[in-house]
Structure 1
Amino acid sequence: MTANGFPWAAFGQGIPAAAAAALGVMLVTFAVALVKGVHRVVDIAWGLAFAAVAVVSYAVSAGHGDDTRRLLITVLTVVWGVRLAGHIALRGWGHGEDARYEAMLARAPGDRNLYALRMVYLLQGVLVVVISLPVQAASYLPGPLGPVAYAGCAVWLVGLVFEAVGDFQLARFRADPAHRGRVMDRGLWSWTRHPNYFGDFCVWWGLFLIVCDAPVVAAATVVSPLVMSLLLIFGSGKRLLERHMADRPGFAEYTARTSGFFPLPPKKAT
């Protein structure tokens, strides 16, 4: 142990177990995708893989860390991951391949399924392990929860509300045939073009804050929310989705009056 009492050796030994959990979820999902003939099911596995890592980290960290923090970080991660997976599963029910994966696999050099395994499933598995580092570390962190950890719970709750409410509002909007082809610009979507991605952003910064009672551990795991933020804003989240929607009627006007990521009051029309 170091001077702050964090069991670095046990934490390091637990990472392979977390990696095995993430890899297991991705490989099972890949098998399901082969049977169904669509790779969009990997989006469901994203949240489930984080939930699996949280549960496995809780199990292998027995005897280390504060029990309240261990249970708290596990429950928060599982609630977020299972809700996200359920929402994506319902949204994609009965649909064919996602346009993003269809475009990517059309460029595959060789077997499409093996390419998807390397570039989607295994890559996402690695990202899950890296992004979940604060969740893993929290299970080993000794000492009671401090003010920063409680603030992290509040930030997590804000994120979950934004994500869940934004998803519900969008689903209800799309269910009305009169809205076909129109841009969703109501509710939370009038304050930010991506309330669900902003919600993810808050969730992972909130989970990170739960380990910030120990500055050294926080410094070692800050890569997690940074990587998630880059993915949401500049990677496969906001940037990719807006590129896909750029030609949709009314989208240019929507972007002119609505914040790109962080919620702000909508601008008045000029």
Structure 2
Amino acid sequence: MTDLLQVLAVEVLVVAAAMALTAYAAHRAGRYSVVDTTWGLALAAVALVAALGGASLDAGEPWRRWLLLALVAVWGSRLSWHMHRRNSGHGEDPRYAAMLAGATPLQRVVKVWVTQGAAVVLVGLPVTVAAVTTGGWAFLAPAGVALWLLGVSFEAVGDAQLARFKADPANRGRIMDRGLWSWTRHPNYFGDACVWWGIWMVSLTTPWSLLTVVAPLAMTYFLVFATGARLLDKHMEGRPGWAEYAARTSMFVPLPPRRARRDHPED
């Protein structure tokens, strides 16, 4: 337990510094969405601190902590680069504008920087625990890596398809409903969830480590209800074609597109 608390303490300091620097960058840029770029990098920093902490304390299993660092670093680097390219040169993300409407400066600090920092530490908890514990559950690692790979691929392909769609002037004002986006309205969020459920599976070492399931559950909650799918859907309501798209397309878990139904008087 002492090893875990030591590593956690360093992680909290690193995340706090990352959020402070991001707050300064957001102030300079005039938009809170800068934090989206920091999100992936902050989690990669947590994984790095965990790996180095486990090594310095001679705790945990080297293969597991370095594998987890690689998984988080690859995912975080790709996501942060994508968010930086997507948001650069644009104004505030409508999600943040809606969430912070009418908020006081203190409320903004809590809603963005404190909440995001706490979420980073929470989501990274499985990686932290795995860095300082040992166990015999290595048989779950291949399945976890496979789920991680599915998630990263889903996320990257979905982002690339949307970027190509938006780059075509002929699609201005249209709803993206092609490729992965015809199976789920949020392939990037679904991929994100798969990534962190996969990382959780790789991180499992003992029955006690099962308690870290709170991390992927929290990430899934963020992606679906808090700052992800539901909030974005609300922003999209009212756009031409959105109601029809939402009616035939699964919100989160990929499913075959539903056929349009005709309303009959006897129904």
Give the whole-Å Cα distance in 1 for the aligned partners of 2:94 and 2:230: 15
Give the whole-Å Cα distance in 2 for the aligned partners of 1:117 and 1:46: 16
Q: What amino acid does structure 2 have at the position aligned with 1:198?
A: F
Q: How does 1:164-203 map to 2 (within 5 A)?
A: 164-203=156-195
Match of 2:83 in 1: 88
Match of 1:248 in 2: 239
User: SS in structure 2 opposite 1:210?
Assistant: helix
Give the whole-Å Cα distance in 1 for the aligned partners of 2:232 and 2:194: 19
Q: Is the 8 A contact 1:69 1:145 kept in 2?
A: no
Give the whole-Å Cα distance in 1 for the aligned partners of 2:170 and 2:59: 56
Match of 1:41 in 2: 34
Q: Is the 8 A contact 1:141 1:211 kept in 2?
A: no
User: SS in structure 1 opposite 2:256?
Assistant: coil
Give the whole-Å Cα distance in 2 for the aligned partners of 1:194 and 1:215: 33
Match of 2:62 in 1: 67
Match of 1:18 in 2: 11
Give the whole-Å Cα distance in 1 for the aligned partners of 2:223 and 2:29: 28
Give the whole-Å Cα distance in 2 for the aligned partners of 1:31 and 1:260: 35
Q: What amino acid does structure 2 have at the position aligned with 1:165?
A: V
1:99, CA displacement in angstroms?
2.0
Match of 1:228 among 215, 219, 233: 219
Q: Is the 8 A contact 2:134 2:205 kept in 1?
A: no
Q: How big is the alpha-carbon RMSD for the aligned residues of Structure 1 and Structure 2?
A: 1.5
Aligned length in residues: 259
1:103 equivalenced with 2:98 (yes/no): yes
What percentage of residue pairs aligned between the two structures are identical? Answer: 51
Q: Residues 232-266 of structure 1: CA distance to partner in whole angstroms, max 9, x if unpaired? A: 11211111000000111111111111111111111
Q: Residues 152-188 of structure 1: CA distance to partner in whole angstroms, max 9, x if unpaired? A: 1111110000101000000110111111111110000
1:145, CA displacement in angstroms?
6.2
Unaligned ranges ≥5, structure 1: 1-7
1:189, CA displacement in angstroms?
0.5
Unaligned ranges ≥5, structure 2: 262-267
Give the whole-Å Cα distance in 1 for the aligned partners of 2:181 and 2:95: 22
Give the whole-Å Cα distance in 1 for the aligned partners of 2:4 and 2:155: 30
Match of 2:248 among 237, 249, 257: 257
